[in-house]
Chain A
Amino acid sequence: MIKISGIYKSFGDTPVLKNISADFQPGKTNLIIGRSGAGKTVLLKLLVGLIPPNEGQIFYDQVDFLHIKKKDLRTLRMKVGMLFQGSALFDSLTVEENIRFPLDMFTAMTKKEKSDRVNTCLNRVSLDGINAKFPSELSGGMQKRVGIARAIVLNPSYLFCDEPNSGLDPKTSLVIDELIKDITIENNMTTIINTHDMNSVMEVGDNVILLHEGKICWQGNKDEIMSSDNEILHDFIFASPFLQRLRHAAVSNGFDI
């Protein structure tokens, strides 16, 4: 479980996050949603310690993350997987070498075991057989999926994904959502996902947090979204005129979506 409280972050005079508190339970897909520029990436980077907050506390289970010793931090991080918004694949290494990197660095596995593990991970993101390709030879969505494969290769206890679906078609996007959901349940991981993809929200949102103007303005699960009368939430979820018309039609005809 990851617990944050009273998180405050500003860049210079511009506040980005104001007094954010939340619990992220293991075995559940926790989603952070919000408009572009709402501070989702900043919150995620803060959670993994890439940016220090101005105020607040972060706990990884019992561990006080902001006052941890450097050495313990490294040990903790071996249990953390992260997918960056831009994938951050090492571009001079092949796909196989990218995914194997954490294995090479931290495990005493044999060559065979490593390559089996790499293939398993690639299979999970439906990218079998691209081991020898370089990141620059892949499409943006494929890079994302390799990024996910690399994030889960060490069976992390905490998984962070920054926009796993951006750049993916709706079908693949769904596959990725299901994959993240499955491994979250299998390994009882604490998973936190940034997204503005409303399909993911409605499919895998066990715990959805809506960031707006630096604050949490709504929190609940996917089933509570429909019954909520939070205006900002509805503006966000039914952003397109098409969806608005659809919702309107459904509501006025008494359908439950």
Chain B
Amino acid sequence: MVITKLLDHLGKYLILMGSAFSKPEKTSMYYREVIRQMHDIGVGSLIIVFIISLFIGAVTAIQFAYQLDGTLVPDYYIGYVVRDMTIIELAPTITCLVLAGKVGSNMASEIGGMRQKEHIDAMEIMGVNTAAYLIMPKVLAAVIIIPILVAIAAFVSIGGGYIAAVPTGLLSGQEFVMGLRSFFIPYNVFMMFVKSLVFAFLLTSISCYQGYNVKGGSIELGKASTNAVVISDIMILLADYLIAVVLI
């Protein structure tokens, strides 16, 4: 029962994505929409991403310093661990989980509202490919802007680690920087971008799917917006696991 329902959703999702990624009626209209979405997602999420990654870096540094206390592991490892934790896992995953809550729920309720107010029907009657016009620009914008947000998150997080560890005397600034420069594997940065691309695609496409298929009234709209976040979060974590298995 559950399986058939899941497969049903998966099928519908794939069909929707199929029609979402077809040739635009008018490139300029889509371009304008992509720019608007990039602004909304990027500038709109900057502050929250900044705050969260600052604290995540700080907590990582303090926690790891606490673990190291009284062991023979050198202090500069704090810098090293903050950097790798951030790049491999925390920056892409936490940022995208947060964005699923912020951007995903917003997209689901925007599109869902249009469905309920017959805006989507009105566009269809005009001859617009609504799946493409409403979904493609959002996904494209997210796929461009979210990796940039994740990169910013990574820098801020490392900065957070520095602020938490150096002024409080856990280790010296020189040691922290030395840690940052040790055992660096550029491949990890590549992984970070792969993850953020995949997560960005998942969270926007799933949220748009939820919104596009809303029926009923305001309770259903609320549910769709919640589902968008919950399902995106689960899929992001699942993809995180799969990428780790495949790419390492």
Contact = CB atoms under 8 A, between A and B. Distances in A.
Nearest to B129: A74
B124 A77 contact: yes
A74 B122 contact: no
Given A88-B118, A88-B119, A106 B125 contact: no
B44 to A, nearest CB: 16
Nearest to B121: A50
Interface in B120-153: 121-122, 124-129
A189 interface: no
B5 interface: no
Nearest to A51: B121
B25 interface: yes
A59 B218 CA distance: 37
A105 B128 contact: yes
B215 to A, nearest CB: 13
Nearest to B32: A104
A242 B122 CA distance: 38
Interface string A199-226: 0000000000000000000000000000
B126 A78 contact: yes
A86 B127 contact: no
B14 interface: no
Contacts of B126: 77-78, 80, 101-102, 105-106, 154
Nearest to B25: A105
B185 to A, nearest CB: 46
Contacts of B119: 88, 90-91
A75 B118 CA distance: 21
B117 interface: yes
A82 interface: yes
Interface string A49-91: 0100000000000000000000000111110111010101011
A48 interface: yes
Interface string B82-101: 00000000000000000000
Contacts of B127: 74-78, 80, 105-106
Contact of A105 (B29, B118, B124): B29
> Interface size class for chain B?
10 to 19
Contacts of A86: 117-118
Given A104-B26, A104-B29, A88 B117 contact: yes
A208 to B, nearest CB: 24
Interface in A89-130: 90-91, 101-102, 104-106
Contacts of A88: 117-119, 121-122
A76 B125 CA distance: 9
A84 B121 contact: yes
Contact of B117 (A75, A81, A91): A91
B26 A106 contact: yes
A106 B125 CA distance: 13
Interface string B43-84: 000000000000000000000000000000000000000000
Contacts of B25: 74, 105-106
A20 B119 CA distance: 28
Contacts of A75: 127
Interface in B173-216: none
A167 B129 CA distance: 31
Contact of B26 (A50, A90, A105): A105
B138 to A, nearest CB: 15
Interface of A: 45, 48, 50, 74-78, 80-82, 84, 86, 88, 90-91, 101-102, 104-106, 154, 160
Interface of B: 25-26, 29, 117-119, 121-122, 124-129
- The list of the 9 closest CB pairs from A to B, nearest first, reads A77-B127, A88-B122, A88-B118, A78-B127, A82-B125, A74-B127, A102-B126, A84-B118, A50-B121
